Amino acid sequence: MDVKTRLYELYDIIEKHNYNYYVLDDPTIEDDEYDKLMREVKAIEAEHPELVTEFSPTRRVGGVALSTFEKVTHTVQMGSLQDVFSEDELYSFDSTIRKELEPVYSVEPKIDGLSVSLEYRDGVLVRGSTRGDGFVGEDITENLRTIKSIPLRISEKLSLLEVRGEVYMPRESFARLVAEQEENGEQPAKNPRNAAAGSLRQKDSSVTSKRSLGIFIFNVQQVEGRTFTSHSESLDWLAEQGFPVVAHKVCDTIDKAVRRIREIGDEKHGYAYDTDGAVIKVDDLSQRDILGATAKVPKWAVAFKYPPEEKETVLREIEVNVGRTGALTPVAVFDPILLAGTTVSRASLHNQDIVDRLGVAVGDTIAVRKAGEIIPEVVRVAKHCGAETYRLPDKCPVCGHSVERGGDEAAVRCVNPNCPAQLLRGIEHFASRDAMNIEGLGEAVVKQLVESGLVSSPADLYLLNLQDVMCLQGFKEKSAGNLLKAIENSKQVQPDRLLYALGIRGIGRRSAELLLRKFGDIDGVMTASYEDILSIDSFGEILAHSVSDAFADPQMRELVEKLRVNGLKFDYDKAASGDKLAGLTFVITGTLPTLKRDQAKELIEGNGGKCAGSVSKKTNYVVAGEEAGSKLTKAQELGVTVITESQLLDMINGVAE
């Protein structure tokens, strides 16, 4: 079997496993076997990039960030439905139709997500777009490719197929996202629908790929080369083509349709996704043509909306949790209630702004519901007890240090870098790959070091000895020696990484490098004024305050001094950067052998080059790695020079070709 045949065979095998796992929820292969197949695909594609196609499973990981989304004009309008809120309205809908026809209905759950269009040409996915205003949407093809339940190609190679579906965020994924946002002191997503919409509009599709989105297809918008007589027939055919199709049931009377809508209402709490209603549609497509539409909605379908489930209870206490970034999160503790099938007694109030908006006080009777049917939230005060609205404390409840609210942030934070509530996560960040890159210093090891009293700040890592580490669970002499060696090696990293490792809010690798290029060393950054920091291009008021305030804190200055004494590198080697790529525009595509995408971008920009998100005639070089796709093809079409990571490094290091 030749390489090309094997590669495309692997494509088919992997997509079949994706279908079994993500659509049928019936995996037929172990994870390590699946990973082995993916590694084989990546190896072949790296050696033969000319064979990579649009339907490669490696295209699902996301790519270079876009600067904007292109507009898409919909050939077939992506309309909306008329909402109804009672069974009487359903019977009225049926009576109107029966004046002309004898309908059969298709009844489906109404998925609470973001409506999108998928277009296939000759069986291959070529474009995906948002609904927009129904007439014009946005091209989000690369983001939609990351959803593994969407087939990148189908078996029946019709010249054109456009389908409509609803992208959603599963409740479990939503719960994880909100927990992460709470930890970071960020404004949490309000519900799974908003979270799904925000994920699909990420400029960097690699972010979308981490959000575990799903999709249900619920309509054929247009098709060439095949005809259907009924809606249910078209959905059954789509399922045969590998699409995740919305659950649907054909009902030959309105009584049966209403009964099915009631059943969906009873079942919806057990779904893995949000359902805010049910849709009833005339199934016969010729009858739909007869019924037609108004200027806004079709006459052959309506959406039944279920009333939101809310229950009242008494707020007994407000606890305050402190996250890894120091953010104080108020948590409502109330009398237990049964909500959406489970008993709940706690709900996050997120931040002081939300507390103020609700006007909530301990002793109030509050109304609670579940966002995404999974996360309890306080939606209003049903009865005030007369007490004043709750205020977050002005001291950290864990360490007693003062708290601050900076700029336009919603979060109130403990500004003590040595706060025990922040210590664990702070040390993990310090040791992370993009910071000091201390291999082997993960969450479990950090927790042992802190709980044993061996480490109370990042500086203490450099005081550890062999006996200290061997006292930890799972460490013997060799593994302990390896960890100590990794800690010692970290002393040689450039100080921009150290500056990033300190965990100053808003300071990433790129902004840390800009600070060092401006002020020369960490001492220069520490003594820089707010005005001097603000003068750096791309630094705004919030970021400038964040840096100046961080180094004004005595505990931060003490930490930095300990790191100096322990031998870490403070002087920035400007020779590591320069203008060797000045005037050149690069596009990065695929997975590079050693550099992450943001690292390669920082390296290019640090040497005077510019990074773009798409290939054009103005592009000088495309840096291609594994999984390079359409950008590589575009470069070849335009005659743009394609280089490897190694060649990029040679350009920076002055090695002649």
Is the distance from CB of 72 to CB of 119 less than 8 angstroms? no
| Any domain includes 60 | no
Mean pLDDT over residues 384-413, rounded?
A: 86
* Residue 545 structure tokens: 């305050």
Q: What is the mean pLDDT of the chain?
A: 85
Is the distance from CB of 408 to CB of 542 less than 8 angstroms? yes
Query: Which stretch of 125-129, 294-298, 341-345 has the lowest confidence by average pLDDT?
Result: 341-345
Backbone φ and ψ for 462, nearest 5 degrees, come out as -85, 0
Question: Among 310, 311, 317, which Cα is nearest to 364's?
Answer: 317
Query: Which stretch of 238-242, 293-297, 344-348, 428-432 has the lowest confidence by average pLDDT?
Result: 293-297
Mean pLDDT over residues 451-467, rounded?
A: 91
Flag whether pLDDT at 594 surpasses 70.
no
How are strands ordered across the β-sheet holding 124-130?
Answer: 124-130, 114-121, 160-168, 214-224
226 and 168 assigned to the same domain: yes
Flag whether pLDDT at 341 surpasses 70.
no
Question: Among 349, 422, 421, 420, which Cα is nearest to 391's?
Answer: 349
Mean pLDDT over residues 344-370, rounded?
A: 91
Q: What is the CATH number of the domain that holds 283?
A: 3.30.470.30
Among the three residues 575, 603, 638, which one is the final residue of a domain in this structure? Answer: 575
Give the bridge partners for 346, in sequence order.
Answer: 333
β-strand 124-130 against 114-121: which pairing, if any? antiparallel
Among the three residues 276, 305, 334, which one is the final residue of a domain in this structure? Answer: 305
Count of domains observed in the chain: 6
Which range of 44-53, 464-473, 505-514 scores highest in mean pLDDT? It is: 464-473
Helix 254-267, helix 87-98: angle, nearest 10: 150
CA 82 – CA 142 distance, rounded (Å): 32
Exposure string of 43-75, with b = 16+ CB inside 10 Å and e = fewer, is ebbbeebeebbebbbbbbbbbbbbeebeebebe
Question: Among 425, 408, 422, 423, which Cα is nearest to 326's?
Answer: 422
pLDDT given at position 416: 81
What residues contact residue 620 under an 8 Å CB cut-off, 6+ apart?
584, 585, 586, 640, 641
What residues contact residue 81 under an 8 Å CB cut-off, 6+ apart?
279, 297, 298, 301, 302, 303
| Any domain includes 400 | no
Mean pLDDT over residues 195-221, rounded?
A: 83
79 and 96 assigned to the same domain: yes
Which range of 90-94, 334-338, 575-579 scores highest in mean pLDDT? It is: 90-94
373 and 522 assigned to the same domain: no
Q: What is the CATH number of the domain that holds 473?
A: 1.10.150.20
206 and 287 assigned to the same domain: yes
Decide which of 655 and 457 is more confident: 457
Flag whether pLDDT at 266 surpasses 60.
yes
| Any domain includes 379 | yes
State the number of CA atoms in the 13 A half-sphere of 444 facing the CB.
5
pLDDT given at position 219: 95
Among residues 4, 42, 110, 157, the one annotated as catalytic is 110
Give the bridge partners for 414, in sequence order.
Answer: 403
Question: Among 216, 210, 170, 172, which Cα is nearest to 193's?
Answer: 170
CA 114 – CA 135 distance, rounded (Å): 15
Q: What is the CATH number of the domain that holds 42?
A: 1.10.287.610
377 and 508 assigned to the same domain: no
Decide which of 434 and 357 is more confident: 357
pLDDT above 90 covers a percentage of the chain that reads: 34
pLDDT given at position 374: 65
Is the distance from CB of 38 to CB of 17 less than 8 angstroms? no
Query: Which stretch of 147-151, 347-351, 415-419, 640-644 has the lowest confidence by average pLDDT?
Result: 415-419
**What are the tens digits of pLDDT across the range 580-591?**
787 888 988 887
CA 399 – CA 46 distance, rounded (Å): 52
| Any domain includes 110 | yes
257 and 114 assigned to the same domain: yes
133 and 243 assigned to the same domain: yes
150 and 213 assigned to the same domain: yes
588 and 548 assigned to the same domain: no
Mean pLDDT over residues 481-505, rounded?
A: 88
Decide which of 97 and 635 is more confident: 97
594 and 566 assigned to the same domain: no
**What are the tens digits of pLDDT across the range 17-70?**
777 766 665 667 776 677 788 888 888 888 888 888 777 877 766 554 455 678
What residues contact residue 641 under an 8 Å CB cut-off, 6+ apart?
620, 621, 622, 635
Total residue length of the chain: 657
User: Which long-range CB contacts under 8 A does 513-518 form with residues at least 24 apart?
Assistant: 513/577, 513/602, 513/606, 514/538, 514/539, 515/547, 516/572, 517/572, 517/574, 517/577, 517/606
The C-alpha torsion from 203 through 207 and 211 to 216, rounded to 10°, is 40
| Any domain includes 531 | yes
pLDDT given at position 537: 66
Among the three residues 542, 559, 575, which one is the final residue of a domain in this structure? Answer: 575
| Any domain includes 19 | yes
* Residue 290 structure tokens: 């007869």
- Ordered DSSP codes for 135-166: SEEEB-HHHHHT-TTS-SB-SS--SEEEEEEE
pLDDT given at position 645: 80
Flag whether pLDDT at 462 surpasses 50.
yes
- Residue labelled with tokens 């009584």: 255
CA 324 – CA 184 distance, rounded (Å): 7
pLDDT given at position 77: 86
CA 96 – CA 76 distance, rounded (Å): 26
Annotated catalytic residue 110: yes
What residues contact residue 400 under an 8 Å CB cut-off, 6+ apart?
none
Question: Among 588, 573, 436, 553, which Cα is nearest to 501's?
Answer: 436
Which range of 205-219, 338-352, 457-471 scores highest in mean pLDDT? It is: 457-471
pLDDT given at position 372: 52
pLDDT given at position 198: 83
| Any domain includes 622 | yes
| Any domain includes 454 | yes
93 and 206 assigned to the same domain: yes
Q: How many CB atoms lie within 10 A of CB 523?
A: 14
499 and 647 assigned to the same domain: no
pLDDT given at position 656: 41
Domain limits at 34?
3-52
pLDDT level of residue 657 (50, 70, 90 thresholds) = very low
Longest dimension (CA), the chain: 88
Query: Which stretch of 80-84, 363-367, 606-610 has the lowest confidence by average pLDDT?
Result: 606-610
Rounded to two decimals, the pTM is: 0.53
**What are the tens digits of pLDDT across the range 275-286?**
889 999 999 999
